[in-house]
Amino acid sequence: MECCKRVGVEGGRLQLDSFGIELEIPPGAIDSEAPQDFSLSVLTDTPNLGNSKEEMSVCFGVQCLAPDDLVLKRQVTYTIPHCAVITRYSSVKAVLYTGEGEYSPDAVVKERIMLSRSGTPSCIITKDVLKLKMNHFSWAKIKLMIKNYFFRGKKMCCRPFKEKNLALQKTPVILHAHLYDDIKGNSEVNYCCGS
């Protein structure tokens, strides 16, 4: 769940292969003669990010820790898998929640930023992955805004990524899915699927 690496002026790549998460630091981004220590980690839980009915959580958060005095001269790119099924990616907007320092479960959100497809920060949404560009290091969580009648009032928090592959055995696996309908008077609908 964590990748540590020394990166210098030539740039480098930190990868969390089991989650498909990657951080690319381009050449010239680090203005330091000596290589610097970086750590990239996945956030499997995030603080309360509000209760917007238009925002859906479809990916893990990330955190990159670097020396406090490090200034980036070029933006870095995070590649983060997502589980949204979307027909028109151009109609989806991304919202970035970010905070300072090392992430903890009681972390406070410093900024909520509507992301565009260009500029800094920015996010390009494609099938299966988000490309988040930033010019500083912090913890970050992205939610998608999908303005669609079908999704109105629905909250979604999917964690489809597994850290390790399941054994190739015929052992039954039980999947519990909890679906909530946000219509007044309706309560949780609980589905249980076996495979």
Could you tell me if residue 166 is inside a domain? Answer: no
Could you tell me if residue 192 is inside a domain? Answer: no
Max Cα–Cα distance, the chain, nearest Å: 63
Could you tell me if residue 185 is inside a domain? Answer: no
pLDDT band at residue 186 using 50, 70 and 90 as cut-offs: very low
Could you tell me if residue 157 is inside a domain? Answer: no
Reply yes or no on whether the pLDDT at 176 is more than 70.
Answer: no
Q: Please state, in angstroms and rounded to a whole number, the distance separating the CA atoms of residues 100 and 19.
A: 23
Could you tell me if residue 24 is inside a domain? Answer: yes
Could you tell me if residue 182 is inside a domain? Answer: no
pLDDT 10s digits, 66-125: 988 888 999 999 999 988 877 777 778 899 999 888 888 788 888 999 999 998 899 999
Alpha-carbon distance values, 77 to 14, 84, 134 (Å): 11, 20, 7
Q: Give the position of tokens 């969580």.
A: 141
Q: Which two tokens stand for residue 180?
A: 């909530």
Could you tell me if residue 116 is inside a domain? Answer: yes
Q: How far apart are the first and last CA of the chain?
A: 27
* Domain region containing 48: 2-151
pLDDT averaged over every residue in the chain: 78
Instruction: Give pLDDT, residue 160.
Output: 46
Q: Please state, in angstroms and rounded to a whole number, the distance separating the CA atoms of residues 77 and 121.
A: 10
pLDDT 10s digits, 133-167: 999 888 999 888 765 544 444 444 444 444 445 56
- Three-state SS for 149? helix
CATH label of the domain that carries residue 51: 2.60.220.30
How many structural domains does the chain have? Answer: 1
Q: How many degrees, rounded to 5, is the angle at CA 95 between CA 45 and CA 141?
A: 20
Q: Please state, in angstroms and rounded to a whole number, the distance separating the CA atoms of residues 136 and 99.
A: 11
Q: Please state, in angstroms and rounded to a whole number, the distance separating the CA atoms of residues 125 and 57.
A: 14
Instruction: Give pLDDT, residue 107.
Output: 84
